[in-house]
Structure 1
């Protein structure tokens, strides 16, 4: 399902077919999974660090990390392709090499890279789905970790091996790990989307349950008030 038409069309169709407001809490398209923390993690480092994750529609992934303590900003965007084709209409064709991704700026004194990975694999998306998440299909929705250091790659690779060996998922993890070559911010209307559109059917069904799962499975890391892109810009 193409994002430029499919995801937004899905919202409209669902709104016409279902009385979403009367349903109460929804089940996510991808159920959260309780997983162990990584055996290998990063040492505490000075200064704000950057991590980039792709796991389906960036609306939900951004929302999860905006509700995560220690994250100082989470920005929706595109990674894996060139700057020239980093726009929503082009990325939505699935031919540009990009994935919808989220750039996570975090304070390693408050949250580790390994903990971010645990949240990413547990509640942010299903790492066993190849080139799709829930209703969205295509390589732009692939599961991918774009690393910004050799240490991040070593930790991510080790964690995937650990989780596969423990068989915590019903299928092998398909997440690709590789160096970040460029991250390009998505259009302004994609930022803070989950918070700004909580009653939209796509968000209500696919993404809000991820926030509920974060609160339940990671109560120490959960923030009730999200750290929004708009608020970060206002303070800079």
Structure 2
């Protein structure tokens, strides 16, 4: 919990003393990047599919996908390390190999893996920042895609190559793509965080603009009412 309170205290102090611009570079303070859709998309069987993305603090990543049509659940958690080290105090040290990640359950009849990738690269985070996102620094905030199938890895690798070749960003994409070896749900107080704490300074500055960007760039995929973990549990 020390890292959590440290993050909140830092953001609140920085906003109060120096203003929003003092929080450092962030997708929140920039225009979202308009990018083309992937030329290659996954060939998926019927039924609910799973994708796992890491792109900075999982509060915002989860929030964006909870506002995405076709996503039936988005769960904050940890990927890249062991089950024994999958806890917020340990992951926050940056020594566990874990990244803060979000497990996205989606209906391929309503949204494709390629469209999720397009949202991930254009709205969720800045894929050119190495081991950081905005004010959050460390390997636990890295940009990473944890593929659940060989086809997902193929599509993600091809899309990164496509975007780099088109030079849609001002720097090369640093996102790492690899197989998912395990996903571990984060503590309950991290779930639905953006929706439950919309006025918290960190959320207001870093994450709510991503929701507005999703609405602007992907109006067909945007959901006004988010699909929350709490509501998904209630219906199971």
TM-fit CA distance, 1:23: 15
Check the 8 A contact 1:14/1:201 in 2, yes or no.
no
CA distance in 1, matches of 2:86, 2:42: 31
Alpha carbons of structure 1 residues 2 and 156: separation in structure 2 relative to 1, 3 Å:
farther
- Of stretches 83-92 and 12-21 in structure 1, the one that deviates more from structure 2 is 12-21
Alpha carbons of structure 1 residues 38 and 69: separation in structure 2 relative to 1, 3 Å:
same
Check the 8 A contact 1:11/1:200 in 2, yes or no.
no
Secondary structure in 1 matching 2:24: coil
Alpha carbons of structure 1 residues 10 and 194: separation in structure 2 relative to 1, 3 Å:
same
TM-fit CA distance, 1:45: 2.3
Alpha carbons of structure 1 residues 145 and 17: separation in structure 2 relative to 1, 3 Å:
same
CA distance in 1, matches of 2:31, 2:64: 14
CA distance in 2, matches of 1:2, 1:56: 18
CA distance in 1, matches of 2:29, 2:78: 23
TM-fit CA distance, 1:20: 8.3
Alpha carbons of structure 1 residues 215 and 9: separation in structure 2 relative to 1, 3 Å:
same
Alpha carbons of structure 1 residues 24 and 40: separation in structure 2 relative to 1, 3 Å:
closer
Check the 8 A contact 2:2/2:89 in 1, yes or no.
no
TM-fit CA distance, 1:10: 2.0
Check the 8 A contact 2:55/2:141 in 1, yes or no.
yes
Check the 8 A contact 1:58/1:76 in 2, yes or no.
yes
Check the 8 A contact 1:94/1:139 in 2, yes or no.
yes
TM-fit CA distance, 1:151: 0.2
Give the unaligned 5+ runs of structure 2: none
CA distance in 1, matches of 2:166, 2:132: 24
CA distance in 2, matches of 1:141, 1:23: 16
- Of stretches 173-182 and 44-53 in structure 1, the one that deviates more from structure 2 is 44-53
- Of stretches 11-20 and 57-66 in structure 1, the one that deviates more from structure 2 is 11-20
TM-fit CA distance, 1:29: 4.1
Check the 8 A contact 1:114/1:155 in 2, yes or no.
yes
Secondary structure in 2 matching 1:53: strand
Alpha carbons of structure 1 residues 25 and 231: separation in structure 2 relative to 1, 3 Å:
farther
TM-fit CA distance, 1:16: 4.0
User: How many matched pairs?
Assistant: 236
TM-fit CA distance, 1:43: 2.7
Give the unaligned 5+ runs of structure 1: none
CA distance in 2, matches of 1:2, 1:38: 40
Alpha carbons of structure 1 residues 143 and 3: separation in structure 2 relative to 1, 3 Å:
farther
CA distance in 1, matches of 2:173, 2:68: 23
Check the 8 A contact 1:25/1:209 in 2, yes or no.
no
CA distance in 1, matches of 2:24, 2:102: 28
Q: Deviations over 1:156-207 (max 9, x none)?
A: 0000000000000000000000000000000000000000000000000000
Q: Deviations over 1:128-149 (max 9, x none)?
A: 0000000000000000000000
CA distance in 1, matches of 2:25, 2:125: 18
CA distance in 2, matches of 1:198, 1:148: 31
